[in-house]
Amino acid sequence: MNMPTTKTITTYAINNLQIGLDEDDRQIKQRLADHCLINIEAIVSCNCARRALDARKKTNIHFVCTYEIELNQTLDPLPKNTRLIESSSLIANTPELLSRKLNNDDHVIIIGAGPAGLFTALALAEAGLKVTLLERGKPVETRMRDIGRLRSRGELNPESNICFGEGGAGTYTDGKLYTRIKHPFLRHVLHTFVRFGARDDILVDAHPHLGTDKLVRIVRNMRERLIELGVDYRFETRVDDLLMINGSVTGVRATNLVTQTEDEITATHVVLATGHSARDTFERLQSLGIKMEAKAFAVGVRAEHPQELIDSIQLGASAKHHKLHAAEYSLTHQAKDKHLGKRGIYSFCMCPGGLIVPSPTEQGRMAVNGMSNAKRGGRWANSGIVVQVTPEDLMRHGLDDDPLMGISFQRELETATFRAASNSYAAPTMKLTDFINKKPSGTLAATRFKPQAIPTDLHELLPNWISQPLAEGIHAFDRKMRGYITEDANLFGTETRTSSPIRIERGEDMQSVNARGLFPVGEGAGYAGGIVSAAVDGLKAASAIMNKSDNEV
């Protein structure tokens, strides 16, 4: 009796396939068959594994894709841009470093429930370690009410705001997941977001984002899982001090902000994942002698344009196509500078269809940031437009050589911003054309900023060495995006929290170079620049702690 033969299924990746906006699934499948010189019936399945929009030519806007296809035959020879693959990139593969189970009494304290802290906690708790997670702010849902009071009434809660609270500062941004770093943990981070409620397309899009509304739900789901794993998850708990013995960190001293009671918590390891705005924490670390250094960062303004204008500039006649979403931009310029040679000016955290929000954390100081929801459906686009600042710049302009001098400069700008807004948490604002022409008109373009946009000459607010390259950069942006300079746009002061102005020195083992047991991670420690890079940095710390715990058993 002859047994039926089973056809072998082979999987291939086809790169750099250009897909038109109006091509449907059947047409794409036929394109794949034609590329492979096979009949369409040989394709068992096909999935888009990577998708990027190419809008460089407005008359030929298309997607550049990588497709993974399963065939009931083999390809020999392989067509151009085609390779055989062992397993789909869409399958979640937990890195071996994070898949271990530990059985010991190690206790890890994690300071901060932003992406670095949450991913560290999740990896360690799922490995079986005892974890205490301390967050000075409130749960993500409650935090929204404090942000609402700031926007509606101008009332700041210094412990619960855009920067402080569960989910970290990234929760109230655009939720961008794009990063330039390369690391084995990257795919794991994206799959973890999907696991806790993100859309599958973040695994495919070249520039994925989540949006604030989705991030709130994802963060809440992660919290529920951590508590289920036995994590001691404490809100409104500010860490005021580290406990140290002979140069090793043995725990923390924390204050419950509701009861104002202090508590000493001992641990084997302490992960510092505070975010870039925990200035009081950095001051305390400096007083303890924890080694840190000043690093470059950037400051400037936040620009707001009608989203319809940005769509038209970027997408031309295709702007309203049903497959396209609100357009974004990424712009850079290098201005001549007698000190640096070239000074960078660039767009930062661009939020399509979003809104500008007040983001102060300290009384009497004001700053702004941007956010958008998943659908990016608002009437305005906004982006930080910022200028490179180096430690050498700050010393030239009168600040002492000190690891925290960047924080001092941020505070100076934020204090001046607060005063320029009549000592309130309103935003000093200038029409973009007025700023370029250096002629304040006292009028503004339409805006939905809350609590209030106050017409202000930003050239008087910003130092000249910031405002001049800023104006030059905006002129350069208009040459790249004709129409960027328009009377329908405003500039809001000031954008100061682009990244941490300090770096806490650490070794290859992820520990502080002079405080054993302390693991500084994420944006606040100076090692990340966004949600995904912070999460990856947290996972690196988790892996280092697992290795240490393994070796000490």
Q: What is the DSSP string of 467-503?
A: HHHHHHHHHHHHHHSTT-S-TT-EEEEEE--SS-SEE
Please report which confidence band the pLDDT of residue 29 belongs to, taking 50, 70 and 90 as the band edges. very high
* Residue type (1 letter), 221: N
| 490, 342: one domain | yes
Please report which confidence band the pLDDT of residue 86 belongs to, taking 50, 70 and 90 as the band edges. confident
Residue 551: is its pLDDT beyond 70?
no
Please report which confidence band the pLDDT of residue 92 belongs to, taking 50, 70 and 90 as the band edges. low
C-beta of residue 403 within 8 angstroms of C-beta of residue 279:
no
Please report which confidence band the pLDDT of residue 6 belongs to, taking 50, 70 and 90 as the band edges. low
Which domain-ending residue is among 51, 84, 117?
A: 84
Give me the pLDDT at residue 409, please.
Answer: 98
Give me the pLDDT at residue 350, please.
Answer: 96
Q: Please state the rounded mean pLDDT for residues 362-390.
A: 96
| 37, 150: one domain | no
User: Does residue 526 belong to any structural domain of this protein?
Assistant: yes
| 134, 239: one domain | yes
| 288, 300: one domain | no
What CATH number should be reported for the domain holding residue 173? 3.50.50.60
Give me the pLDDT at residue 552, please.
Answer: 60
User: Does residue 341 belong to any structural domain of this protein?
Assistant: yes
Give me the pLDDT at residue 262, please.
Answer: 96
Q: What is the pTM of this model?
A: 0.93
Give me the pLDDT at residue 473, please.
Answer: 98
User: Does residue 77 belong to any structural domain of this protein?
Assistant: yes
User: Does residue 3 belong to any structural domain of this protein?
Assistant: no
User: Does residue 330 belong to any structural domain of this protein?
Assistant: yes
**Among 2-6, 276-280, 436-440, 535-539, which stretch is predicted with the lowest mean pLDDT?**
2-6
| 308, 409: one domain | yes
Give me the pLDDT at residue 102, please.
Answer: 80
Give me the pLDDT at residue 164, please.
Answer: 93
Please report which confidence band the pLDDT of residue 172 belongs to, taking 50, 70 and 90 as the band edges. confident
User: Does residue 378 belong to any structural domain of this protein?
Assistant: yes
Output helix, strand, coil percentages for the chain, rounded to the nearest 5: 30, 30, 40
Please report which confidence band the pLDDT of residue 100 belongs to, taking 50, 70 and 90 as the band edges. confident
Q: Please state the rounded mean pLDDT for residues 417-445.
A: 97
Instruction: Please list the residues that pair with 249 across neighbouring strands.
Output: 244
Residue 553: is its pLDDT beyond 60?
no
Q: How many CB atoms lie within 10 A of CB 484?
A: 21
Give me the pLDDT at residue 104, please.
Answer: 83
Residue 241: is its pLDDT beyond 70?
yes
Residue 279: is its pLDDT beyond 80?
yes
**Among 26-35, 166-175, 227-236, 476-485, which stretch is predicted with the lowest mean pLDDT?**
166-175
Give me the pLDDT at residue 89, please.
Answer: 66
| 482, 523: one domain | no
Between residues 477 and 2, the one the model is more confident about? 477
Mean pLDDT of the chain: 94
Q: What is the domain count for the chain?
A: 3
d(CA 314, CA 332): 16
Residue 87: is its pLDDT beyond 90?
no
The angle subtended at Cα 539 by Cα 535 and Cα 540, nearest 5°, is 115
Q: Please state the rounded mean pLDDT for residues 521-532.
A: 95
User: Does residue 93 belong to any structural domain of this protein?
Assistant: no
d(CA 200, CA 191): 8
d(CA 367, CA 301): 9
| 396, 472: one domain | yes
Residue 278: is its pLDDT beyond 70?
yes
Which domain-ending residue is among 56, 84, 112?
A: 84
d(CA 22, CA 17): 15
Strands 10-20 and 62-71: antiparallel
| 340, 407: one domain | yes
Q: Please state the rounded mean pLDDT for residues 104-119.
A: 95
* Residue type (1 letter), 414: E
**Residue 367, domain extent:** 296-495
User: Does residue 178 belong to any structural domain of this protein?
Assistant: yes
**Among 182-186, 391-395, 449-453, 464-468, which stretch is predicted with the lowest mean pLDDT?**
182-186
Helix residue ranges, H only, 89-211: 115-127, 140-153, 186-195
Give me the pLDDT at residue 474, please.
Answer: 98
| 318, 350: one domain | yes
What CATH number should be reported for the domain holding residue 79? 3.30.70.2700
| 444, 316: one domain | yes
Give me the pLDDT at residue 449, please.
Answer: 96
Give me the pLDDT at residue 181, please.
Answer: 86
Residue 517: is its pLDDT beyond 70?
yes
Which domain-ending residue is among 32, 55, 84?
A: 84
